[in-house]
Structure 1
Amino acid sequence: MPDPTIIPCLFYRDAPAAIAWLQRAFGFHALSVTPGPDDTILHAELAIGPAVIMLNSARPEMGWVSPRDLTGLNQSVYIALDDVDAHHARAVAAGAEITHALADKPYGGRGYSALDPEGHFWSFGGYRPDLTATA
């Protein structure tokens, strides 16, 4: 049996615009996009390297809302990268709202955080957890 895989699933008011922005600013590419009625997205899978996220249009009737509909953040996504400096430059050039400046981290690695246009909190860095460690 394969190891478990964790895949964040995010909700957007304007999922088609979010897909385009995530590709331009953060370097994702679409694996699949299933459109829905009225310019919505029923399901999309985006990848950056081996990391995958899923996203779809917000559906408030099911409790699926964009962070813009909340009073605070309830989650964040961290993606480990090899060249975080180049990734940061790409995000800045695309107009990403940088919330935590690119810096060396006391726990190791180097990283930064940004908000996407709908308020999802993203962190990118060179830190990778030691999967052989036990608590």
Structure 2
Amino acid sequence: MNSTIIPCLRYRSALEAIDFLCTAFGFEKQAVYVNAEHQHVVDHAQLTLGGGMIMLGSVRDDTPFSQHMVQPDDVNGRETQCPCVIVSDVRAHYETAKAHGARIVDDYEEKEYGGAGYSARDPEGHLWYFGSYDPWAPQPG
């Protein structure tokens, strides 16, 4: 069985979130579909980083799926999951994210199990983890 897992997020200000995610975290726009009637509403967007992707859209309450999601500020900033993104130069990524306003939750740290990483929140409070440890890479030993 082949499988691809793509995290999906919702943002109150999706167009601003897209700009932030591209500038601070290094994503690239693959597709952005803005609502024809409401130009501030993103119906669907796909952002890539290396071989990975996230999908996102505007917070809305007019679809059945939207009833299953809440925003971090609705639940005191708590999350039940966060995207884990593997980057080759995590130190440089950390510095870029900080310079562009990412709220650092856990500072850059070398990990005992290998690699390094940090966690940050985007402007709407979504939690992200960026690290260099690649669980798919062959491990020594």
Q: Normalization by structure 2: what TM-score? A: 0.86
Structure 2 unpaired stretches of 5+: none
Of 99, 120, 124, 2:105 maps to 99
Of 109, 123, 130, 1:124 maps to 130
Residues 91, 60 of structure 1: CA spacing in aligned structure 2 closer, same or farther, 3 A cutoff? Answer: same
What secondary structure does 1:17 align onto?
helix
Aligned match of 2:75: 70
* Aligned mates of 1:42, 1:83 — CA distance in 2: 32
What secondary structure does 1:6 align onto?
coil
Structure 1 unpaired stretches of 5+: none
Deviation for aligned residue 1:66: 2.3
- Asked if structure 2 preserves the Cα contact closer than 8 Å seen for 1:77 and 1:122, the reply is yes
1:51 aligns with 2:52: yes
Aligned match of 1:6: 5
Deviation for aligned residue 1:105: 1.1
- When the two structures are aligned, how many residues end up with a matched partner? 132
What secondary structure does 1:103 align onto?
strand
- Asked if structure 2 preserves the Cα contact closer than 8 Å seen for 1:46 and 1:53, the reply is yes
1:81 aligns with 2:52: no
- Asked if structure 2 preserves the Cα contact closer than 8 Å seen for 1:13 and 1:65, the reply is no
What secondary structure does 1:101 align onto?
strand
Residues 97, 33 of structure 1: CA spacing in aligned structure 2 closer, same or farther, 3 A cutoff? Answer: same
- Asked if structure 2 preserves the Cα contact closer than 8 Å seen for 1:12 and 1:65, the reply is no
**Aligned-pair RMSD on alpha carbons?**
1.8
Q: Normalization by structure 1: what TM-score? A: 0.90
